[in-house]
Structure 1
Amino acid sequence: MRVPVLAYHAVNISGNDYASNDPRAFAADLRLIDDLGLRIVPLHWVVDQLLGRANRDLERCVALTCDDGSNFDFEDIEHPTHGRQRSLHHCLTDFIAERGKDAQPDLHLTSFVIASPEARAHIDRGCLAGRGWMDDAWWPAAQDTGLIAIENHSWDHNHAAVPLPGIDGMPRGSFLSVDNRARARAEIAAASDFINARIAPQRTTLFCYPFSHVPDYVHDEYLPRFGEEHGMLAAMGDGAEPVHPDSDRWNLPRYICGWHWKSPEALRQILLG
């Protein structure tokens, strides 16, 4: 098993070409992956394989993820500067309509969402356009499509746009400040509880580190020791290599669009490599 996991941020829209628009890149990458004869599979299949919970053939496979849980993941939105934007969900359905269900029968996207409604509102006002682009009304509908899984991207991202004080007095702007059980419980277990209530009877089992910051306490202590509290099976970082049998389950690697690749040609090299 050597499965590249690709990550996108659907709010990354500063233009309408590949390099400046993650949804446009996502749509193009679906076709590139298919053209290369690779198979898109759910991220939880990769985790199940790593943990010995399943035995599937994952040769020549790719998994897709997106972070932060903006409405751009699921809904087409009129961007005030760059016009109508196709959601990641509709990029998936467009691909199915174009190439047929049999082209990628296991097509799937994992969306890591921020749980706190208050934090999402502050991020929407402070970093986006203040138009309500980070609500949670779409989560159950997305989960019900069978094409998208809703997973855990923390309670509030400990984001700088969220006013002080942070949880347990944490300084804002870095997830590395999550250095004790109280802070970890508030950021991870509380997020799981909130998300689970919204997507029931489904449950979140995968965590993604905000900012790709991996605190020693969370990695070494909280995630491995307090599974009954938080319910996570694995956690995603960056790492820029495929997930393989020796990967660290509490810091699984991903390639991030706009950072690890910025063009179809660069992604082609990653996938062929």
Structure 2
Amino acid sequence: MPGCPILTYHSQLLFGNDYRNNSHVGLAADLEVIAASGRQIIGLRELVASLRGARDLPLDELVCITFDDGPDFDWLDIEHPEHGPQPSFATLLRRHAAAHPGQRPICATSFVIADAGARHEISTQAMGREWMNDHWWREAAASGLLQIDSHGLDHRHPCLAPGDADWGHFHAIADEVSCAQQVDAANSIIAERSGQPPRIFAYPYGQASEYLRSEYLPRHGQRLGLEAAVSIEPGHFHWDSDPWFLPRYVSLAHWHSPEELASLLRG
């Protein structure tokens, strides 16, 4: 069955300057693999809109690109204190588009964490810098290059509640109140800061309780303006995919080299 892979990257993975330890090096190489495969990059919102509508896209000719957590380096070039200058994911997309003018306009999705306090704690504790800000969201959303969508309120990151076993995973979001906090409240913040309401939700850790996936989002999604949610269960997007648990492949988890990505795209 023809399918469209949805690929996922984390721009904070910067531990060197090689494919396996630097997601910026990886994305640059993978963009060339995608071009060589003959697939073209399509925005995830456009893919989901077709799932909800005409279902007329050639899935076996397409690929989606998404970024999780929303560090500044999704959009901003940085000077890394250990590994030198790093072009942002947005810069890499622009360079690729300029080098391949015959392709459709590139659009990727950045799934951002809504709460500023949570971002501050996660960034400073995990990265040692204030590298998860929201001042670039509005510019990015207006650019057409990067769509800003929701990765929840606080990612249920364990640094926010040390020693609490309900943190460090997303399975505990399994009732009306906690779902409204993680989904509704996050949507409101992201819409206000980016200027556009989120259309897609990315489950933190790729995890969803049965209640969130099968009851809350199908029941409240239209009210919230949401059309789909994505997991990190590996697999190609098909027309019969569950819109509230779409599959995605994660860089350096589901493929580890340009050759493995080329095989994944063929599959």
How far, CA to CA, are the matches of 2:162 and 2:251 in structure 1? Answer: 30
Whether contact under 8 Å (1:6, 1:65) holds in the other structure is: yes
* Per-residue deviation, 1:231: 2.5
In the alignment, which residue of structure 2 is the partner of 1:188?
A: 183
**Structure 2 vs 1, CA of residues 120 and 87 (structure 1 numbering), >3 Å: closer, same or farther?**
same
Q: Which of 186, 201, 208 is residue 202 of structure 2 equivalent to?
A: 208
1:3-18 pair list within 5 angstroms? 3-18=4-19
**Structure 2 vs 1, CA of residues 171 and 239 (structure 1 numbering), >3 Å: closer, same or farther?**
closer
How far, CA to CA, are the matches of 2:54 and 2:153 in structure 1? Answer: 28
SS of 1:78's equivalent in the other structure is: strand
SS of 1:18's equivalent in the other structure is: coil
Matched, 1:127 2:121: no
Structure 1 gap ranges (5+): none
SS of 1:110's equivalent in the other structure is: strand
* Per-residue deviation, 1:13: 1.1
In the alignment, which residue of structure 2 is the partner of 1:232?
A: 226
List structure 1 runs of 4+ shifted beyond 2 angstroms: 53-59, 96-100, 163-166, 227-231
Further displaced range: 226-235 or 16-25: 226-235
Identity, % of aligned positions: 37
In the alignment, which residue of structure 1 is the partner of 2:80?
A: 79
CA RMSD across the alignment: 1.7
Matched, 1:246 2:237: no
* Per-residue deviation, 1:22: 0.8
Letter in 2 for 1:137: H
In the alignment, which residue of structure 2 is the partner of 1:138?
A: 136
1:107-118 pair list within 5 angstroms? 107-118=106-117
Give the number of aligned pairs.
266
Whether contact under 8 Å (2:110, 2:149) holds in the other structure is: yes
* Per-residue deviation, 1:112: 0.3
Letter in 2 for 1:15: G
* Per-residue deviation, 1:199: 2.0
Spell out, residue by residue over 1:80-117, the C-alpha distance to the aligned partner (whole angstroms, 9 max, x if none).
211111100000111123233x2x22311100000000
TM-score (norm 1): 0.93
How far, CA to CA, are the matches of 1:229 and 1:186 in structure 2? Answer: 15
In the alignment, which residue of structure 1 is the partner of 2:34?
A: 33
Whether contact under 8 Å (1:189, 1:231) holds in the other structure is: no
How far, CA to CA, are the matches of 1:53 and 1:150 in structure 2? Answer: 24
* Per-residue deviation, 1:230: 3.0
Letter in 2 for 1:251: F
Structure 2 gap ranges (5+): none
TM-score (norm 2): 0.95
Q: Which of 241, 252, 256 is residue 258 of structure 1 equivalent to?
A: 252
SS of 2:160's equivalent in the other structure is: coil
Whether contact under 8 Å (2:206, 2:233) holds in the other structure is: no
